[in-house]
A and B are shown apart, each in its own frame.
Chain A
């Protein structure tokens, strides 16, 4: 079954760019069946969808973050990536990658998730 694993720096300075990757195993990242997503959770707060990417490269972003977010996919390495620019302390969160199934309602249902990685924005 699909397994996802996030990786990247745990500390980013304010105004810099946060960069994370999610490595996919147990299935094909090139499959037309899946959307690959990023979700984050600030400490002691709820979940916030950041965006998703389809194998074709089509991207969908949370309007509140759209100006700062880029999600890309590297099929040769079976991974997809998140870049969030001009970060502030408000971007401190656990960042999760997850997968959803292509479909009308299904695109929103993420299963499974990676274990998550804490990114702290601080100088």
Chain B
């Protein structure tokens, strides 16, 4: 199966912009989804596809993709954005298989 690689931890100053990246061969074929998970809570989809936000997700969250890398950008990070972020996509190695990245812990300073 394919893998998605994320940096384990990223930090950003309050109000600044941060980019979280996800690397994997499957991203050359399939778009990524991005999830925010706060302690003790279920993950929430924040970005999917080329750059789409589900209803209720603030527009400071955006997504992009180039080659084998997908990125989640938070423009003007807020204290409440401190969370774990996971990317995922369809797996290129089999029919309808799914793969998740290892997650990135975002700290807002």
Residues of chain A whose beta carbon lies under 8 Å from any beta carbon of chain B: 35, 37, 39, 46-49, 52, 60, 62-64, 96, 104-116
Sample 9 A-B pairs with CB under 8 A, ordered by A number. Answer: A46-B102, A49-B88, A49-B100, A105-B31, A105-B90, A108-B33, A108-B89, A113-B42, A115-B42
A105-B89, A108-B33, A108-B90 known; A113 and B95 CB under 8 Å? Answer: no
Give a binary string over B21-48; 1 marks a CB under 8 Å from any A CB, 0 the rest.
0000000001101010000001111001
Interface residues on B, range: 20 to 34
A47: B residues at CB distance < 8 A: 35, 43, 86, 88, 100, 103
A47-B88, A52-B96 known; A110 and B30 CB under 8 Å? Answer: no
Alpha-carbon distance A116/B33, docked complex (angstroms): 19
A48: B residues at CB distance < 8 A: 100
Give a binary string over B84-98; 1 marks a CB under 8 Å from any A CB, 0 the rest.
001011100011111
A105-B90, A109-B33, A109-B88 known; A46 and B100 CB under 8 Å? Answer: yes
Kindly identify, within residues 30 to 84 of chain B, every residue whose CB is under 8 Å from any CB belonging to chain A: 30-31, 33, 35, 42-45, 48-49, 54
